[in-house]
C-alpha cells in the first residue's frame, strides 16, 4: 500500500526519462569512463602483475562489477527515484543510506571539477609547451602555486578559478536542460568524440620509438603476483571504483529509464565498454611511457607513475620530447580526452545530488540545479583554485573514495539482504524486464563475495589511515578534510532523513507497476493445493484478514504474464 505525504508546494511533473536506449547507454558509459580509466588503471595493472593482472581484473568484473551494476539498475528502475527516495521506498529507516550516497557524490563533485579545469588549461598549454624543461616544477610551483602546509588558503590562483567557473557554468547548463535534452544529448556527442580523440591518440602512440618496450612492460605477466592477495584486492578495487557502482550514479540514471528497458543487457554493454576503454588507455599510456623511457635511456619502470603525476607531469615531459608540430597535437588530444572523460563523469555525479534535492523538496529541474548546483560551485571555487587546493583535493579524494564509497556499499548490501532479505525481489525484477537472466550465482556474488572483498578493502584502509597520517599531512588537515568530511556525510544523512518530504509522494514500494514481482512487504504466503482439484486452499490475507487465495502474480506463470503487461504500462505519478 502506498503512503502519501502532502505538502504546500503542489505536485511537480512526473519523472523524466531518457528518450532512447542509446542516450542512456552513452550517459552510463560516460559516467563509468572517467579520469581513473586513463591515469589509474594502467598504473595499477603494471604494479599488480602486468599482463597477469588481467586475470583477477576479469574475475572481479564478472563476480563484483557486473553483479553490482545489475543491482543498481534494478533498484533505480524498480523504485523510480533518487538514492534517498529509493531506499525510503524499500524501508523508511533505510533512507539515510541514500543520503550517504548523495553526500559522497557531493564532495567528489566539488573537487573533481577542478581537475577538469586543469585538463582544459593544459590542452591550451600543450600548444606552446609552456611547462618548459621541468613539468613537475611548473605544475606544482608555477601552475598550482602549492602551499602544502596551509589548512585553508584564500590565495587564489585566478586563471584556475576562472576556468573552474566556466566548467561549473557548462555542467549546470547541461543539467538544467534536463535528463534527455541535457545529459542524454551531451553524452551522445561527447562519448563518440572521446572515442575518436583517444583512438587517434593511441594509434599515434603505437608509432613512437620505444612503444614496443612500453607494451612489453604493460603486458608481460608476472604469474607469481596471482598468489598475492593484495593484487586481487587491487583488481576488485579498480573495478569497483571505475564502474561508478553503489554510490547513487547508476541507480539514479536507471530511474530515468522507460518501463520497457532491458536492464541486464544495458549493464553488460556499459561494463564491457568501460573495461575496453581501460585496456585501450593502458595501451596508449604505456606506449607513450615506452617512448619516454627510450628518450631518457632508462627502463620503463623508472618512468611509470599514476594519478595526477602521470597526467600533468609525465605526459608533458613526453610531449616536450616530441617534434614541434607533433607534440602540441598529441598534447591537445590527450588533455581534451581527459577533460571530456571527466566532464561526462561530472554530469553524473552532480545529477545524483540534484535528483535527491528535487525529490525531497519537490522542486522543478531548473531551481534544483541552480540552487544546489550553485552552492556546490561556490564551495568548489572557495576550496580548490587556491594554493592549498591540491592538498585539500588529495585528502578529500582519499577519504570519500576509500572510506565513503566502500563503506556505504558494504552497509547497503548488508541492509538490503542480510537484514531485509530483499535480494530475491530485485533479482526477479531484473528477470521480468531483461533478456539476460540472473539467479543463485548472481545472488552469491552480490551477497557473499562482494561484502567479503569490500570488508577487506575497508579494513585495510581504515587501519592504514589510523596508523599514520595519509601523505604525511598534518593532523589538522586530515581531521578537517578527511575524517571531518566523513562525519559531515554521516550526520548530514541523519538530518536530511528527518526533514519531511514536500509535495505528494508514494513512499512505500514501487510507484505504479511492480512488474509482476510482489514487494516483500506485500507478499502473501504460498498456499498448498488440494490433491483432488488443484485449487488453492482458502486462507486469510495477512494484511486484511479477509479470505484470499494465492495471487496469480505470485506464481511463475502469473509473474511472467504480469511482467509482460507491466513492461508496456507507463508508471503512474510518483
Mean pLDDT of the chain: 88
Length of the chain equals 574
Q: How do residues 504-513 score in pLDDT, each as one tens digit?
A: 888 888 887 7
The per-residue pLDDT for 510 is: 86
Contact status, residue 384 vs residue 157, Cβ threshold 8 Å:
no
The per-residue pLDDT for 559 is: 41
Contact status, residue 369 vs residue 354, Cβ threshold 8 Å:
yes
Contact status, residue 336 vs residue 347, Cβ threshold 8 Å:
no
- pLDDT reading at 290 higher than 60: yes
Q: Name residue, grid cell 551494476.
A: 69
Q: What is the mean pLDDT of residues 345-360?
A: 97
Phi, psi (5° rounding) for residue 5?
A: -120, 140
What percent of the chain is predicted at pLDDT more than 90? 78
The per-residue pLDDT for 343 is: 97
- pLDDT reading at 560 higher than 70: no
The per-residue pLDDT for 554 is: 39
Phi, psi (5° rounding) for residue 24?
A: -65, -45
Q: What is the mean pLDDT of residues 557-565?
A: 42
Using DSSP's 3-state secondary structure scheme, residue 156 falls into: strand
DSSP state of 314: I
- pLDDT reading at 280 higher than 70: yes
Q: Cα(568)–Cα(574) distance, rounded to whole angstroms?
A: 17
Q: What is the mean pLDDT of residues 369-388?
A: 97
- Min mean pLDDT across 40-49, 65-74, 437-446 is at 40-49
Q: Name residue, grid cell 544529448.
A: 185
Residue 523 pLDDT class (50, 70, 90 cuts): low
Q: How do residues 232-275 score in pLDDT, each as one tens digit?
A: 999 999 998 899 898 899 999 999 999 889 999 999 999 999 99
Phi, psi (5° rounding) for residue 539?
A: -150, 175
The per-residue pLDDT for 12 is: 56
- Nearest partner of 24 among 354, 242, 260, 196, judged by Cα: 260
- pLDDT reading at 323 higher than 90: no
Q: What is the largest CA-CA distance in the chain?
A: 90
- Nearest partner of 84 among 496, 420, 522, judged by Cα: 496
Q: Cα(473)–Cα(461) distance, rounded to whole angstroms?
A: 16
Q: Cα(505)–Cα(223) distance, rounded to whole angstroms?
A: 55
Using DSSP's 3-state secondary structure scheme, residue 5 falls into: strand
Q: What is the mean pLDDT of residues 144-171?
A: 96
The per-residue pLDDT for 568 is: 43
The per-residue pLDDT for 511 is: 86
Q: What is the mean pLDDT of residues 39-53?
A: 91
Task: Provide DSSP, 413-466.
Answer: HIIIIIIT--HHHHHHHHHHH-SS---HHHHHIIIIIHHHHHHHHHHHHHHHHH
Q: What is the mean pLDDT of residues 106-133?
A: 95
Q: Cα(462)–Cα(347) distance, rounded to whole angstroms?
A: 30
Residue 574 pLDDT class (50, 70, 90 cuts): low
Handedness of CA 308, 342, 236, 287 (dihedral sign): negative
467 CB contacts (<8 Å, ≥6 apart)? none
Q: Cα(357)–Cα(366) distance, rounded to whole angstroms?
A: 12
C-alpha cell at 329: 597535437
552 CB contacts (<8 Å, ≥6 apart)? 558, 561, 562
The per-residue pLDDT for 522 is: 63
Instruction: For residue 309, list its beta bridge partners.
Output: none
The per-residue pLDDT for 515 is: 78
The per-residue pLDDT for 39 is: 87
- pLDDT reading at 570 higher than 60: no
Q: Cα(164)–Cα(186) distance, rounded to whole angstroms?
A: 19
Q: Give the helix/strand (H/E) hosting 191.
A: helix 185-205
Phi, psi (5° rounding) for residue 156?
A: -80, 145
The per-residue pLDDT for 521 is: 61
Q: Cα(491)–Cα(496) distance, rounded to whole angstroms?
A: 9
Residue 561 pLDDT class (50, 70, 90 cuts): very low
Amino acid at each position: 500500500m502506498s503512503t502519501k505525504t502532502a505538502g504546500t508546494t503542489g505536485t511537480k511533473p512526473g519523472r523524466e526519462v531518457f528518450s532512447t536506449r542509446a542516450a542512456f547507454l552513452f550517459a552510463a558509459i560516460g559516467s563509468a569512463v572517467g579520469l581513473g580509466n586513463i591515469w589509474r588503471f594502467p598504473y595499477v595493472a603494471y604494479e599488480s602483475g602486468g599482463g597477469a593482472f588481467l586475470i583477477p581484473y576479469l574475475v572481479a568484473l564478472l563476480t563484483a562489477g557486473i553483479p553490482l551494476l545489475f543491482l543498481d539498475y534494478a533498484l533505480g528502475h524498480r523504485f523510480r527515484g533518487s538514492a534517498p527516495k529509493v531506499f525510503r521506498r524499500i524501508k523508511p529507516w533505510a533512507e539515510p543510506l541514500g543520503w550517504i550516497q548523495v553526500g559522497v557524490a557531493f564532495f567528489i563533485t566539488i573537487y573533481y571539477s577542478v581537475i577538469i579545469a586543469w585538463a582544459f588549461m593544459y590542452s591550451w598549454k600543450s600548444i606552446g609547451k609552456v611547462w618548459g624543461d621541468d613539468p613537475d616544477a611548473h605544475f606544482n610551483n608555477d601552475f598550482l602555486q602549492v602551499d602544502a602546509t596551509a589548512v585553508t588558503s584564500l590565495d587564489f590562483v585566478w586563471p584556475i578559478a576562472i576556468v573552474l567557473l566556466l566548467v561549473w557554468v557548462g555542467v549546470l547548463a547541461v543539467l538544467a536542460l534536463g535528463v534527455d535534452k541535457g545529459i542524454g544529448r551531451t553524452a551522445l556527442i561527447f562519448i563518440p568524440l572521446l572515442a575518436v580523440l583517444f583512438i587517434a591518440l593511441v594509434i599515434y602512440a603505437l608509432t613512437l620509438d620505444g612503444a614496443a618496450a612500453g607494451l612489453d612492460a604493460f603486458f608481460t605477466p608476472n604469474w607469481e603476483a596471482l598468489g598475492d592477495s593484495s593484487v586481487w584486492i587491487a583488481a576488485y578495487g579498480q573495478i569497483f571504483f571505475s564502474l561508478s557502482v553503489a554510490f547513487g550514479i547508476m541507480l539514479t540514471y536507471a530511474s530515468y529509464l522507460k518501463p520497457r528497458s532491458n536492464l541486464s543487457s544495458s549493464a553488460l554493454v556499459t561494463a564491457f565498454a568501460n573495461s575496453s576503454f581501460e585496456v585501450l588507455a593502458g595501451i596508449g599510456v604505456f606506449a607513450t611511457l615506452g617512448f619516454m623511457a627510450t628518450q631518457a635511456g632508462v627502463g620503463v619502470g623508472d618512468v611509470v607513475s599514476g594519478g595526477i603525476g602521470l597526467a600533468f607531469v609525465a605526459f608533458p615531459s613526453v610531449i616536450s620530447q616530441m617534434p614541434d608540430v607533433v607534440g602540441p597535437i598529441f598534447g591537445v588530444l590527450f588533455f581534451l580526452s581527459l577533460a571530456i572523460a571527466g566532464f561526462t563523469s561530472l554530469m553524473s555525479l552532480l545529477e545524483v545530488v540534484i535528483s535527491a534535492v528535487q525529490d525531497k523538496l519537490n522542486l522543478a529541474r531548473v531551481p534544483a540545479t541552480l540552487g544546489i548546483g550553485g552552492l556546490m560551485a561556490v564551495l568548489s571555487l572557495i576550496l580548490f583554485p587556491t594554493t592549498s587546493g591540491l592538498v585539500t583535493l588529495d585528502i578529500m579524494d582519499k577519504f570519500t573514495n576509500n572510506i565513503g564509497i566502500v563503506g556505504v556499499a558494504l552497509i547497503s548490501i548488508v541492509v538490503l539482504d542480510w537484514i531485509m532479505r530483499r535480494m530475491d525481489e530485485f533479482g526477479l525484477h531484473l528477470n521480468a524486464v531483461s533478456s539476460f537472466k540472473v539467479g543463485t550465482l548472481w545472488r552469491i556474488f552480490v551477497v557473499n563475495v562482494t561484502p567479503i572483498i569490500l570488508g577487506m578493502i575497508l579494513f585495510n584502509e581504515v587501519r592504514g589511515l589510523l596508523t599514520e597520517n595519509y601523505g604525511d599531512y598534518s593532523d589538522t588537515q586530515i581531521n578537517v578534510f578527511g575524517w571531518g568530511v566523513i562525519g559531515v556525510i554521516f550526520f548530514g544523512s541523519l538530518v536530511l532523513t528527518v526533514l519531511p518530504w514536500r509535495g505528494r509522494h508514494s513512499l512505500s514500494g514501487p510507484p505504479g507497476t511492480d512488474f509482476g514481482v510482489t514487494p516483500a512487504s506485500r507478499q502473501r504466503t504460498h498456499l498448498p493445493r488440494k490433491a483432488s482439484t488443484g485449487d488453492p486452499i482458502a486462507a486469510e490475507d495477512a494484511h486484511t484478514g479477509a479470505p484470499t487465495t494465492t495471487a496469480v502474480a505470485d506464481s511463475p506463470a502469473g509473474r511472467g504474464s504480469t511482467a509482460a503487461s507491466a513492461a508496456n504500462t507507463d508508471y503512474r505519478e510518483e
